[in-house]
A = this chain, B = another copy of it.
Amino acid sequence: MRTRSLTLAVVLFAMAVSGCRKHRGHAGAPKDVTPSVATDLRDRARKTSRAFAILRSLTDEVGPRMSGTPGDARAVDWALAKMKSLGLVNVRAERVMVPHWERGEGSGSIVAPVQQSLILTALGGSVGTPEGGLEAEVLAVPSLQALEDLPADKVRGKIVFFDKPMARTRDGSGYGKAVDVRGKGAIAASKKGAIAVLIRSVGTGPARLPHTGALRYVDDVPKIPAAALALPDADLLRRTLERGPARVKLNLGCKQLDDAPSANVVGEVTGSETPDELVLLGAHLDSWDLGTGAVDDGAGVAAVLEAARLISELPRRPRRTVRVVLFANEEAGLRGAIEYAKVHKDELPKHTMALEIDLGAGRVYGVHYLAGPSSGPGFQAIAAPLRVLGVAPPIASEHHGADLWPLRAAGVPLVDLAQDATKYFDLHHTADDTLDKVDPGDLDHVVAATTAFAFGAADTTADFGRIPEDKRK
């Protein structure tokens, strides 16, 4: 299965899936789509989008907003105010308790055979090192399997270094293939008696900035600290190990605090005919702490807010309600997404479609859908106005944003506007995730595609069915 796999959760879910079966629609196309309005919206979005200004406001006035932190709380206030000012209605914060983790100071160095600083950062959720840090010989392995194949006495007392590179691809699939060491490396290494984990950052950029991201622990395996090395530092450690044994010192001041309140922030454009039917436009409000979350996922937040604003200003609103959901805590647990599905359980049958924008401002090149078996013609119809943006016709696929997993489990039809991820993983989860990295023209392209598609989805009377049981996970 190919998957965008934006979070550990996605990867873990994905592993349970086998094969990629495509559903191509075969029922007749609906007759009531209003392509001229969608086309006008698309062109208006490209000319008058305010998405970059929204993104600037979020990144400059709120900045980093890791779940549970004061920045997260400021982001919730910002989102409530911004939705209201953009003309959305039924604006509210739906409370969610989220993990609250503190990175603290982190440092590392090779101490033998020569002293060299290493630029690294803790993986999200890592425990800290003991007071004064820890120091041990390093054991490099290229994969979880390679570690698995080693006897425990080769691993015991060492720092395991997962040196697994990520490939650069347009569809971001290199990420899913490399990220397992981040999510599961600490568990696997601890089981063999290692005292800490280093990973080559799961990213593609040459800059000396490490990529953080969530790890997992399980209750019955001792929690050991884990950090990501910037790619040049992973290279240095690899080359040093090629010359002989090496020892590393590691100091991480991480702390897991009590869960803290956050919120999914929700606002709507009420449908004109069947307002109880919903099209969900999602993005996630939280970010990592190192950058200002401009690409992950400020761009998505700006795109869905601007799409809703453009739709809300139409002289005639679409039939169905467009609901914007800015999810809490996508990065470290999907607590917002899980809570949304729980709180809105009774309403999920009325969610006719959900999509999430969470791959920065990469231009849209395709439409992926996971829906009922007769849904193809409906998707073809509402995606038609995207053709002039260079977007290929919709295809059945299991790609989708991470926050949509709980909706998938409930059968809600999912859409993914496939975005160009070629450069996304240069920045992802690093300090370099800042406003200057977002091209306004690219962002407006995403807004145009999102707006036209969302309008079509909300204005059609087509029924996209439900995801078949065997695809719900």
Contact = CB atoms under 8 A, between A and B. Distances in A.
B60 A239 contact: yes
18 contacts: A56-B239, A60-B116, A60-B240, A63-B115, A63-B116, A63-B117, A119-B431, A206-B432, A206-B437, A207-B209, A208-B209, A208-B431, A208-B432, A209-B209, A232-B437, A235-B434, A235-B435, A236-B292
Interface string A85-118: 0000000000000000000000000000011110
A64 interface: yes
A231 interface: yes
A219 interface: no
Interface in A421-440: 430-432, 434-437
A124 interface: no
B114 A434 contact: no
Contact of A62 (B114, B232, B235): B114
Contacts of A434: 208, 232, 235-236
A112 to B, nearest CB: 12
Interface of A: 56, 60-64, 70, 74, 114-117, 119, 206-209, 231-232, 235-236, 239-240, 243, 291-292, 430-432, 434-437
A70 B114 CA distance: 11
Contacts of A235: 434-436
B291 A208 contact: yes
Nearest to A430: B208
Copies of this chain held together in the complex: 2
A116 B293 CA distance: 12
B236 A117 contact: no
A209 B210 CA distance: 12
A245 to B, nearest CB: 15
Contact of A231 (B70, B292, B436): B436
Contacts of A61: 114
B64 A207 contact: no
B63 A432 contact: no
Nearest to A59: B236
B436 A232 contact: yes
A435 B60 contact: no
Contacts of A431: 119, 208
Contact of A116 (B117, B208, B231, B292): B292
Contacts of A240: 60
Nearest to A116: B63
Given A61-B114, A63-B115, A114-B61, A236 B206 contact: no
A60 B208 CA distance: 16
Given A61-B114, A207-B432, 13 more contacts: A56-B239, A63-B115, A63-B117, A74-B114, A116-B292, A206-B437, A207-B207, A208-B291, A208-B434, A231-B436, A235-B434, A235-B436, A239-B435
A8 to B, nearest CB: 24
A61 B62 CA distance: 43
A94 to B, nearest CB: 25
A444 to B, nearest CB: 19
B208 A63 contact: no
A292 B70 CA distance: 37
Given A62-B114, A63-B114, A208-B291, A435 B236 contact: yes
A294 to B, nearest CB: 9
Given A116-B292, A291-B208, A432 B60 contact: no
Nearest to A426: B207
A74 B235 CA distance: 22
Contact of A232 (B115, B116, B435): B435
A54 to B, nearest CB: 14
A236 B206 CA distance: 23
Contacts of A209: 207-209
